[in-house]
Amino acid sequence: MKSYLLAARPKTLPAAVVPVWVGCALAYHLTGKWDVYLAIYTLMGAVWIQVATNFFNDAIDSAKGADTEARLGPTRATASGQLSSKAVYMVAVVCLLMASVFGYLLIQERGWPILAIGVPSLYLCYGYTGGPLPLAYRGLGELFVILFFGVVAVTGTVFVQTGTWEPVAMLMGVAIGCLSAVLIAINNLRDIDEDRSNEKNTLAVKWGRKKALILLQVMTIIPYGITGFIFGYQRELLYFSPPFILAALIQWWVGRTPPGVVYNRFLALSALQLLFYAMVVQLIVIL
């Protein structure tokens, strides 16, 4: 069970939870109400998709030799021999089935648009690192996260709650997607040497460390500008000071620290920043 938990990577779950959380808060901001059951169905679908992605990633990276003994990040279950590739694939499929169950419940409420969102999402659990065009190996990881863990997830959650497509939800989706992509960018900066030797062409490998750091800074700044645009540049925006200060510190530390195990701490802090951001969005909506 410890090995399966390792492969599930629970520390990555904020990337699945926050878009639904913020989407529900935004729906309440727009309509003054939200449905708790629809929120639970959406959250469970997002979480199971995230976990399935992690299991596929664990098995596929091991098969491609992307996870080696020189790895600076957490131990991977398949590469370390704790679990067989077949077992990891089987659990990933089970996770997809669980996501599909909650997706079916959402389809009953909102119809075919949920199917249009769900089918590509289910495929890309595998297609992120596998298939004919593995996104993570083509430098498309950050873009994938911004689109699917940001725009699609937040806009889809607001649609589930309200039954309408809201442009403001797309903007908030970009904000959440950028903060989630920060985790991918830091992960890729940590693994830049290992990825280069294994022909895993992440943006950090393609562009080099200097340009990758600039991208990291841009993806950190954009969400705070978007928030000001959505809620108005008023006194309440000062509540974003704690996550913004944390974001600035993370940028400073990553920019001045060579790749190493310490980057795992930066990743944890980035996940914390994402949670803080969601907390402040909800606080402003309540106020």
| CATH number, domain containing residue 183 | 1.10.600
pLDDT at 77: 83
Tally of domains within the chain: 1
CA nearest to 154, candidates 179, 127, 136? 179
Closest by alpha carbon to 191, among 67, 6, 60, 12?
A: 67
To the question of pTM greater than 0.85 for the whole model, the response is: yes
Q: Per-residue b/e over 152-166, b at no fewer than 16 CB within 10 Å?
A: bbbbbbbbbbbeeeb
Cα–Cα–Cα angle for 56, 58, 60, rounded to 5 degrees: 65
Q: In 10 A of CB 252, how many CB atoms?
A: 10
Burial of 242 (0-12, 13-18, 19+ CB in 10 A): middle
Distance in angstroms (rounded) separating the CA atoms of residues 28 and 67: 43
> First-to-last CA distance in the chain?
43
Average of per-residue pLDDT across 221-231 = 90
Chain centroid to CA 158: 18
pLDDT at 49 over 70: yes
Cβ atoms of 122 and 99 closer than 8 Å:
yes
Task: Over range 267-274, report the average pLDDT.
Answer: 94
Arithmetic mean of pLDDT, 27-35: 93
Answer yes or no: is pLDDT of 68 > 70.
no
pLDDT, residue 81, reads 84
Q: Which domain holds residue 71?
A: 2-286
Calpha distance 131→128 (Å, rounded) = 8
**How does residue 200 score in pLDDT terms, banded at 50, 70 and 90?**
confident
pLDDT for the residue numbered 198 = 79
pLDDT at 173 over 90: yes
